[in-house]
A = this chain, B = another copy of it.
Amino acid sequence: MLTYNMTDRAGASLYEHLYRCIRRDIETGVITEDERLPSKRSLAKHLGVSLITIEGAYSQLIAEGYLRSEQRRGYFANRPVILPQLRAASRIPACNEGALEDTNNVIGQNTLPTNKVTAEATALTAAAAIALPAATAPPATTAPPIIDLRTGNTSLELFPFKLWTRTIRNVLAHESERTLLADVPQAGLLRLRSALASYLHGSRGMDVEPEQIIVGAGAQYLYGLLIQLIGRKYTYAIETPGYPRLAKIYRANDVDVAFIPLDEQGACVDALRKSSADVVHLMPSHQFPTGLVTPIGRRYELLAWASESDNRYLIEDDYDCEFRFAGMPIPALQSIDSSERVIYVNTFTKSLGATFRVGYLVLPRHLVKRFSEQLSFYSNTVSALDQLVLALFIENGDYERHVSRLRNKQRTLRDELISALKVSAIAESILIEREDAGLHFILGIESQRSDEELKEAFLREGLDIYPLSCYELPTKGYSERLSDRNHSAEGGPNEIHRFAICYGGIAKEEVKPVVCAMERAIYNI
């Protein structure tokens, strides 16, 4: 059986390394023409690597013509005809780090490129494509058709493109040169901040002065600004399970990060008290990935905790608040905060798409003052045009109408997906939870497989879906986490494995392929 040293990989990922080793052996004749290669499963076992690794390497070799797959017979080496463009393509990109890395990149404001499935996509070409970004694959190959149920980035089709470009044209036609070129105040154009204040009043019941609003180039930038405002000496807590990317942002800013576990109501106040946390980053309207909506009682407990010290703050990340499909909306934490402890953050990522790089903070009044005292030397990061366009879009009601339409579309999408799942072949093995708010719900799967095995099975079927266990954030480093994860949510007696289904980015036509792929993944692993 093929034997390679899988440890000394010179920075390459396992699959890349294996791909290179096999290719070299084919090119040099160590593996002869028409030689049958070991089955994926046996090679995985032999080398002590995952099936996915073997699959990635084999698929790449097939795509490049080094191997062929013969149905029910296995994999065979071809005569090594090395075409120049394939050679060029086979210069291995350092693309694998990316693949693992991506695990940690899941976030509401995610902008990682994801590729849509074409209906024809099969599991294997998908798996191959993951490993090989289009840039490095041979020219003829189509883009990797993976359906994204992980980031939930709003589908481009839902962006009000015509309305948007018309608004830009309107602004260019009707605003004076002076207005368009005028220096933007540090916190953003007053006109946009007024529009936002009024929108927040109407949609979130928040009583906010425009002066409390700070506009900036996306939430990530604003978190960095907040750390400069509040102070780097404090400990910033995030929820677990939660967004790994949040931990990365706080860590890149060199603050101590604590992790607060969730109970059935949201962030655990007892855990908060036991932690060293000063500032807590929460998603009370709709937690990612658990989908938890923090009830009012817990909200007051969190506010009480925060009000016990002048250095405590709750960062309310209201990332998908526009999407509540049932029940009464629960007021924003910010709107019931009487002690100036809540900093509200939102973006337009879920409503206008990830391309739209505008976010905003709502600061308590004392922080507005501190902001202008401590950070007045910073310029605003969003162009006047972008701010004017957004302001006009909100002022004339287009934004609210768009959100309302989008909410209806997403509700329909959710209903269709859930209905299809309920009549699918896997209906008896699944349960659906927390589907009433936000753009994802929880799919519980009863299975003997581990979370990781199920995730890989989904991926082989072209579905990018992550289990909640992938979002568990230990205080240890990420590499440890990745290996830890293999030991958690293990297979064994039937258990319920919970996955976050972020459907916000799929098209109506993809509902059926998604459900079929899930059926295949769950039954045919």
Q: Please report A residues at the B interface, Cβ cutoff 8 Å.
A: 94, 97-98, 101, 104-105, 107, 109-113, 153, 156, 159, 161, 165, 168-169, 172, 177-178, 180-186, 217-218, 220-221, 224, 228, 232, 245, 248-249, 252-254, 353-357, 369, 372-386
Contacts and interface: CB of A to CB of B under 8 A. Distances in A.
A113 B379 CA distance: 11
Given A104-B377, A383-B356, A386-B383, A232 B249 contact: no
Among all A-B residue pairs, the 5 with the closest Cβ atoms: A217-B381, A217-B217, A111-B183, A111-B379, A248-B377
A186 to B, nearest CB: 7
Contact of A181 (B161, B177, B232): B161
A181 B165 contact: no
A381 B221 contact: yes
6 contacts: A97-B373, A107-B377, A161-B177, A218-B379, A220-B378, A252-B375
Contacts of A98: 372, 376
Contacts of A165: 172
Contacts of A169: 169, 172
A156 B177 contact: yes
A505 to B, nearest CB: 11
Total copies of this chain within the assembly:
2
Nearest to A378: B220
Contacts of A112: 183
A477 B187 CA distance: 25
A5 B437 CA distance: 59
A241 to B, nearest CB: 17
A186 B218 CA distance: 13
A104 to B, nearest CB: 7
Nearest to A114: B183
Contact of A381 (B218, B248, B354, B374): B218
A248 B375 CA distance: 8
Nearest to A255: B254
Contacts of A156: 177-178, 181-182
A159 to B, nearest CB: 5
B382 A357 contact: yes
A180 B165 CA distance: 10
